[in-house]
Amino acid sequence: MPYVHRRANGEVESLHRAATLEASEFLDAADPDVQRFLTQQAEPNAYERLDADFVRVLEDLIDVLLGKGILRITDLPDIVQAKLVVRKEHRERGGPVSASYFSSSGFVEVIDDSAFGQLGQFEPGRE
């Protein structure tokens, strides 16, 4: 072990326990190419990018739950409500907050955003 499959540029692309049509070259486990493959680090910002993508998924999920009436915005803590509103404003590039899921409860008319301090105010470049 291992048999290696190489990319066109010669880098090891995958390791295999047994020879295959694509991986017929046998290398010792201590071979520098095998060690380089085994110790490759993930892309430096991969987790940050994945986290940002996942946050977007959660925002979309919350929007769906609110839109279907399964969740009410008032079910969430005040700080969460404020953060959702600010992120929604930011996503809409500073445009007015789309409050379609607030309208049926009248929550938009009674919200007191003074308790949110700076969280209720959108500032370009800050999240």
Residues 52 and 88 in one domain: yes
18 and 63 inside one domain: no
Shared domain for 26 and 54, answered yes or no, is no
Q: Is the peptide bond before 124 cis (omega within 30 degrees of 0)?
A: no
Contact 3, 37 (CB under 8 A): no
Least confident range of 3-17, 73-87, 113-127: 113-127
Shared-domain flag, residues 73 and 116: yes
Domain count, the chain: 2
What's residue 125's pLDDT? 52
| Residue 61 forms part of a structural domain | yes
d(CA 44, CA 47): 8
Q: What pLDDT score was predicted for residue 1?
A: 57
**Is residue 28 located within the same domain as residue 89?**
no
Q: Is the dihedral of CA 18, 20, 22, 27 positive or negative?
A: positive
For 59-100, how does the pLDDT look when each residue is reduced to its tens digit (9 = 90+)?
889 989 999 999 999 999 999 988 888 888 887 765 444 444
The pLDDT value given to residue 35: 86
HSE value, Cβ hemisphere, 13 Å, CA-based, for 14: 10
What predicted TM-score, i.e. pTM, was given to this entire model? 0.41
- Say what the alpha-carbon torsion angle 8, 12, 17, 22 is, to the nearest 10 degrees: 0
